[in-house]
Structure 1
Amino acid sequence: MIKEYLKHYSFAISLTLLYLVLAVCIMMLNRAFIVGALLGVIFLLFSFEKVAINKKTIGLSLLFVLVATIVVAIFLKSDSSLGRLLIYKISWNMFIEHPISGIGWGNFQREYGLYQGMYFQTGNYTQKEFLLADNSFYAFNDYWELIVETGIIGASSLFISIYFLVRISYYRLKDNPDDELLKLLLALLLVICIAALFTHVFEHGPFKIMLVFILSYLFLANFRKFKVVVALTVTVIYATNHYYFELKNINNYKKWEQAKILSSTGYILESQKIYENLYEEFHNNVEFLQNYNGVLGPNNTGKKIFLLKEILKRYTNHVSYLEMARLYDDIGMRKEAENAFLKAVYMVPNKFLTKEALFNFYLKHQQYKQAAHWRHIILTMPIKIPSERIEAIKQNVKSKHLLTLKTKTYD
């Protein structure tokens, strides 16, 4: 009885689910999934046999989605949209330098910040780009990020895969016109794949698992029996494999949480000991490396530099470079310190803190010409978000100039 009820109202249930997805996306102001959900709803409506479909209807629907996309891009978090254009612009340079095989699978988080630093170091940028720049670890387009990482070789594989996916979906729908679950899953697949054009989707485990189930069912759609069971089995196997490390290390994750609590309550040595014991298991986890580095004191300079190098091999950001620069300076490695300071400054150029640190570095080592140059930049650069901290930095730089630099001359 339940089966017959679900079959009779399957279309209404599917459409209601898609509308709920759309409503949640609107409430969360998630532009990527709003566009994806709109297309998912339209696809589901068109797949319903009682809805007449013609070229005009399809054209108007696609035009509606296009207009909606433009509207949400311009009026909903417009600065975020402009920031993504900057990311695309810089990542294009990454692709141009490595067009065939790309920068390497999984290397976007490591390489993007370095390319952004080089872009701003050239001085050929707009003030809006200057203000919008930040630490970015994703291309906000999963397909483009894959192409940047794998080059033309990866792009060819991607486009071939998309072609066959569309072709298979078409024939599955044609051969199974009464399979309402297939229609719902294809609508959800469209939601996910369209959203991936505008944000990073496929790095999240739940979306990967959902994708595996949808694709498994799609390839099994022509089987009359056990297709749901087989698709679920494949999905469970994948999910177990995907989360195997987390499942295996449940107790170690609890110890990690204990270490964070200990450090936050002042038991630093006890926390350090736990981090040291867990390092072998979590040495590839950037968050763990950052936490471990954070509990080490000034008497652990060598260990801190080692951990920062490990972090920067995987995850480039201006904060790690700034800390690295200060550590190098403390142990007398001035050239390395200067290089790290400059990377921190150019990587996210609108930060006053990094520029103040570089100014103080040049002042400390009596490099007055360089100090005067960065003093001028600090006092004249545009401000992204006014704050008391920024005003304090500007006053600090002014006072040091008056006391220390006014008697110096510069070549």
Structure 2
Amino acid sequence: MYLINSMKSHSIVTIRMQDILLISICILLFLNRAVPIDYSSIWRVTVLCLIYTCIRIISKQYRNCLLHMVYIWGITEVIISILQKANYLESNHHDFGITGTFGNPGPLGGLLAVCWIVSIFFIYENIQNKHRILTLSFCMIACFILYGLLLSGSRAGWTAALVGSMIFLWQWLKRKHTIKVKPTLLKSSFLLIITVFIISIYFIRRDSADGRLLIWHNTITMIKDYPLFGIGAGGWQANYMLYQAEYFLQNPNSPYILLADNIFYAYNEFLHITAEQGIVGLVVVTWLLYALFSYKEKNNTDHCLKSALITFLVFSFFSYPGEVFPLEILFISIIGMMKSKTIKTFTISNSTKYIIRSIAFIFIVCISIGSYHIYHKTFTTIIRIVDKNKISKDTYSQLSQLYPLFRYNSQLMYIYSKSSLEDYPLNTKLQILQTAVRIAPNSELYIKLGDFWKQKKDFPQAEAYYQTAAAMIPHHITPSYKLFQLYIEEGNINAATNMGNYLLKQPIKKKGTKALRMEAEVLEFLHKEKNIKRTQ
């Protein structure tokens, strides 16, 4: 009796390989940085840590409940998508009619691909348990989720769902020992189907696919420059557009010219990780995945989780789930539910366990609330400025106090730099633009900096920024027009004439009213200069 009571007063704590490797990844991200830590984003990391810890310590029997929660999440997103298609709800993107609760249809497709695998798992379980009504119900829901996946238009989601389904089917056939054909032949058939599918969807939106090839090419160039430890966390976004500009300067006749744009995502998480953390970071991530996949599954839930993780990883090859917080939650939840090799097991008293958990919980929650308060207050204040297109003294004072806490947040700084800065002191305006350019450069920001130096009559600085902006996106006419105006103001008529002739021949993706007005002004200038030369 004493032994039983003694065991009840103590708990067994297990440390698994995935715990150690996740801590290693966090240390890498903390120490190896190109951009300093952003205090307004700490809440995202702490929330993920809290979710992972909670999932790791809950009883195994609740894992199916978590899968049901993911399932319900997917169903909810499909309902919202259908309402958006029927125009009862607005989407969150002006170019796409269906986004679910996400800002883009891509992440919606990634979530629904994972939910599709979970739905197959529930069908499989009910077939095994001979629950015909439940099996039929889950089949109908699976078709519903598949319809939502098709509505999303996400080619990455479709590919992930196909590969995940193939893996699930393969594992099921292996476990049931029902494979009557040679495994090599079956694997080759699966590979052929996936290859044909990927090639087919490539031609659905070929320009978009080619645009990603351009991004991958420049990201690989970045990896070559910083192979071992990478450029550092935040370094990809802080440097990518400069690499794109350099690419077009070296390849002025590139077929990718009309596909270039301001880029914020690598569209491949593995390339992104390697670019920022180098081979070292990639090895740690690969080790984590190996630890999870090499652990022999003991039940259907383990099998489902492995298939779901593979689905998520395939999606990660073509998209940016690491930049979408709900998908980060989905990923860390799958990792938390999976198992890997046990590293250490020890026993502690229940009182000690509860004290440690309580202190850790309070600490993490306090940090999360404080960080989120900074983020939310800054975001709402900046949006208010953008809506009113004006800043009051009180608002300026608030943002000045918050600025040191959010200046390394690329999202907030991008919105902040796009707001009306005319009411700011010149030094503050320059500080905002330079900080934004440091963490997330793009053509628009370089044009604004060019305008700033032009206003200050520093023509060489202005020219340098306009030229970089033009190289980043060669089909954008605005930087060329800015250079044309700069040369006129500078009195450099020859340079203005050359730039005007270049502008008229410049390839333009979409020629709108603004571009036509610019061309008309250039033509008028060239015509006047031509007449002047004739009269001389």
Q: TM-score range by the shorter chain?
A: 0.7 to 0.9
Residues 390 and 420 of structure 2 are in contact (CA less than 8 Å); yes or no, is this contact kept in structure 1? no
Deviation by residue 1:53-88 (Cα, 9 ceiling, x = unmatched): 34233322222122111111122x210101111112
The change in CA–CA distance for 1:149 and 1:280 in structure 2 (over 3 A counts) is: closer
Unaligned runs of 5+ in 2: 1-63, 65-121, 129-134, 343-356
Q: Which residue is equivalent to 1:140?
A: 267
Partners in 2 of 1:150 and 1:326 — Cα distance?
A: 35
Q: Which residue is equivalent to 1:400?
A: 525
Q: Which residue is equivalent to 1:359?
A: 484
The change in CA–CA distance for 1:103 and 1:382 in structure 2 (over 3 A counts) is: same
Query: 4+ runs of 1 displaced by more than 6 Å?
Result: 13-18
Identify the match of residue 221 of structure 2 among 88, 93, 116: 93
Residues 260 and 271 of structure 1 are in contact (CA less than 8 Å); yes or no, is this contact kept in structure 2? no
The change in CA–CA distance for 1:103 and 1:250 in structure 2 (over 3 A counts) is: closer
Percentage of identical aligned residues: 21
The change in CA–CA distance for 1:387 and 1:158 in structure 2 (over 3 A counts) is: same
The change in CA–CA distance for 1:244 and 1:43 in structure 2 (over 3 A counts) is: farther
Q: Which residue is equivalent to 1:110?
A: 238
- How far residue 354 of structure 1 moved from its aligned partner, in angstroms, is 1.3
Counterpart of 2:126, as a letter, is Y
Q: Which residue is equivalent to 2:293?
A: 166
**Is 2:434 the partner of 1:309?**
yes
Q: Which residue is equivalent to 1:228?
A: none
Identify the match of residue 326 of structure 1 among 438, 451, 473: 451
- How far residue 379 of structure 1 moved from its aligned partner, in angstroms, is 0.3
Unaligned runs of 5+ in 1: 223-233
Alignment of 1:29-40 (within 5 A): 29-40=153-164
- How far residue 392 of structure 1 moved from its aligned partner, in angstroms, is 1.2
Counterpart of 1:184, as a letter, is C
Higher relative contact order (CA 8 A, sep 6+): 2
Identify the match of residue 405 of structure 2 among 268, 277, 281: 281
The change in CA–CA distance for 1:32 and 1:39 in structure 2 (over 3 A counts) is: same
The RMSD of aligned alpha carbons is 3.2
The change in CA–CA distance for 1:201 and 1:129 in structure 2 (over 3 A counts) is: same
Partners in 2 of 1:399 and 1:314 — Cα distance?
A: 40
Residues 141 and 197 of structure 1 are in contact (CA less than 8 Å); yes or no, is this contact kept in structure 2? yes
- How far residue 247 of structure 1 moved from its aligned partner, in angstroms, is 6.3
Partners in 2 of 1:111 and 1:305 — Cα distance?
A: 20
Counterpart of 2:221, as a letter, is N
Residues 480 and 503 of structure 2 are in contact (CA less than 8 Å); yes or no, is this contact kept in structure 1? yes
Q: Which residue is equivalent to 1:382?
A: 507
- How far residue 365 of structure 1 moved from its aligned partner, in angstroms, is 0.2
Q: Which residue is equivalent to 1:264?
A: 387
**Is 2:279 the partner of 1:152?**
yes
Q: Which residue is equivalent to 1:231?
A: none
Residues 414 and 440 of structure 2 are in contact (CA less than 8 Å); yes or no, is this contact kept in structure 1? no
Counterpart of 1:284, as a letter, is Y
Counterpart of 1:79, as a letter, is D
User: SS where residue 441 of structure 2 aligns?
Assistant: coil
Q: How many residues align?
A: 382
The change in CA–CA distance for 1:243 and 1:288 in structure 2 (over 3 A counts) is: farther
What TM-score do you get using the length of structure 1 for normalisation?
Answer: 0.82
- Mean CA deviation greater in 43-52 or 130-139: 43-52
- How far residue 408 of structure 1 moved from its aligned partner, in angstroms, is 6.3
User: SS where residue 249 of structure 1 aligns?
Assistant: helix
Partners in 1 of 2:432 and 2:328 — Cα distance?
A: 30
Counterpart of 1:188, as a letter, is A
Partners in 1 of 2:260 and 2:365 — Cα distance?
A: 33
- How far residue 353 of structure 1 moved from its aligned partner, in angstroms, is 1.1
Residues 263 and 271 of structure 1 are in contact (CA less than 8 Å); yes or no, is this contact kept in structure 2? no
